[in-house]
Chain A
């Protein structure tokens, strides 16, 4: 029971902090002081207090988009085990629901973008679906590989399976999976080598362009949903990459939160030292990630 309460509160409260840590890391690299760690929370409160403007050409789809996106991501957050504790919701085969909840949220983000009738947002939507259909196989193959290793179809078992002993037994394929998952994490959350979350009104951006017409609380929901998605996929990554477990539940939660903050710092470092890739290079990297995970699967199946 305590674990479920901690799970829900961490999943609900922590995501914007990750964005704050990423931005602080980037500021430190650039030699700036940077916005406070809790700036994303202030931004969200500001947006939730504002009024909304809906374009007259839009329909209910546009209004439903952010809500369904956030709802799907919230359910996904309930399916992922955090800090080596079983997830509140778990059944055999929930890994497929998990992957398709992201598909659903992406579908509604893109269709809300298309609903505005803006050609600019249509371009972003087309890019989003193109790149995500290249990123999705990686996530799936990774989950299948882990499912095969742990001989289970439930995320709670799959993601708590990597322990130090299992890591040593299957070192190469685990390393490949970690690499593939990290690339997927960056691509799915439109972080830097794929998309620059800071750009606005540029022809190169992907995710930001789709949400240009949203304002006020709807935009706040989108920002929160994006942060939550980063948190959920980050939790998957941390579960696979950091097989530490102490046996003490509270210590495990502490390790998990520290690891998530460490992951945010890592993403900040990656964003500071890398430039955004050219548009034509993105599919290449995504296919590369798919091949990494497929290779890991090959090693496991052998």
Chain B
């Protein structure tokens, strides 16, 4: 089963690159939703079946695959924006940077002192690559919604890393992390609505004008 899990992780890393290269927000949101669904399937492939596992899978797919993407796309619709204009760094440079980061995360994962049963799996490089992609999205994009998506991708990276420890991960911790994420998305949604009402655009770099002189 772990071979199939590896293929899915390759897909996760490809989705990272797709998100770095696409300018349409709705497309990015769908991509992050697809990534969330894949992450929901993954634990079932590497751990034996249990009630705890089923709960995690259902929870992840529901939260990451349906609820959060729905909330973000709702915010996009309300704020009436379609694509990210003029990111701080262009799409091709970010795409190349993302590829370099992915390569580096493979090199880095080789160096880590991992447990022997995790050594040959793609989980650790995929986790680091996804984390770095999230960072990249957060730092290079200008629109608040793209930054929310970057934040989600980063959380996905952390989740992949945690997947190796699903057995040891109590339901409460997992639920708490998801709840945090959900609250974060809510807060971001409110902030986004306020920014768009105040400035009639979602450009976060304009927030600078709020600074008191």
Other contacts beyond A298-B102, A299-B10: 12, CB < 8 A = A172-B7, A284-B95, A287-B96, A288-B95, A291-B17, A292-B14, A294-B99, A294-B103, A295-B99, A298-B103, A298-B106, A302-B106
Asked whether, in the complex, the Cβ of B103 is within 8 Å of the Cβ of A288, the reply is: no
User: In the bound complex, what is the Cα–Cα distance between A176 and B18 (angstroms)?
Assistant: 13
Which residues on B sit within 8 Å (CB–CB) of A292? Answer: 14
User: In the bound complex, what is the Cα–Cα distance between A169 and B4 (angstroms)?
Assistant: 11
Q: Can you name the residue of chain B whose Cβ is closest to the Cβ of A301?
A: B106
Residues of B within 8 A of A (CB): 3, 6-7, 10, 13-14, 17, 21, 91-92, 95-96, 98-99, 102-103, 106
A288 touches which of B3, B7, B10, B21 (Cβ 8 Å): B21
Give chain A's interface secondary structure class.
Answer: helix
Answer whether residue A171 sits at the interface, using C-beta atoms and an 8 A cutoff.
yes
B21 touches which of A172, A176, A284 (Cβ 8 Å): A284
Shortest CB-to-CB span from B109 to chain A, Å, is: 9
B10 touches which of A172, A283, A294 (Cβ 8 Å): A172
Residues from 164 to 198 in A contacting B, C-beta threshold 8 Å: 171-172, 176
9 contacts between A and B (CB under 8 A): A172-B10, A284-B91, A287-B96, A288-B21, A288-B95, A294-B99, A294-B103, A295-B10, A298-B103
Residues of A within 8 A of B (CB): 171-172, 176, 283-284, 287-288, 291-292, 294-295, 298-299, 302
Q: Can you name the residue of chain A whose Cβ is closest to the Cβ of B10?
A: A172
Shortest CB-to-CB span from B172 to chain A, Å, is: 35
Which residues on A sit within 8 Å (CB–CB) of B3? Answer: 171
Asked whether, in the complex, the Cβ of B7 is within 8 Å of the Cβ of A284, the reply is: no
Asked whether, in the complex, the Cβ of A295 is within 8 Å of the Cβ of B102, the reply is: yes
Asked whether, in the complex, the Cβ of B10 is within 8 Å of the Cβ of A287, the reply is: no
Asked whether, in the complex, the Cβ of B13 is within 8 Å of the Cβ of A295, the reply is: yes
Q: Can you name the residue of chain B whose Cβ is closest to the Cβ of A288?
A: B21
Which residues on B sit within 8 Å (CB–CB) of A299? Answer: 10
Asked whether, in the complex, the Cβ of A284 is within 8 Å of the Cβ of B92, the reply is: yes
User: In the bound complex, what is the Cα–Cα distance between A295 and B7 (angstroms)?
Assistant: 13
Asked whether, in the complex, the Cβ of A287 is within 8 Å of the Cβ of B102, the reply is: no
User: In the bound complex, what is the Cα–Cα distance between A291 and B18 (angstroms)?
Assistant: 11
B92 touches which of A172, A283, A295, A298 (Cβ 8 Å): A283
Knowing A172-B6, A172-B10 are in contact, say whether A287-B95 is a contact too (CB < 8 A). Answer: yes
User: In the bound complex, what is the Cα–Cα distance between A289 and B150 (angstroms)?
Assistant: 23
User: In the bound complex, what is the Cα–Cα distance between A284 and B14 (angstroms)?
Assistant: 15
Shortest CB-to-CB span from B128 to chain A, Å, is: 13
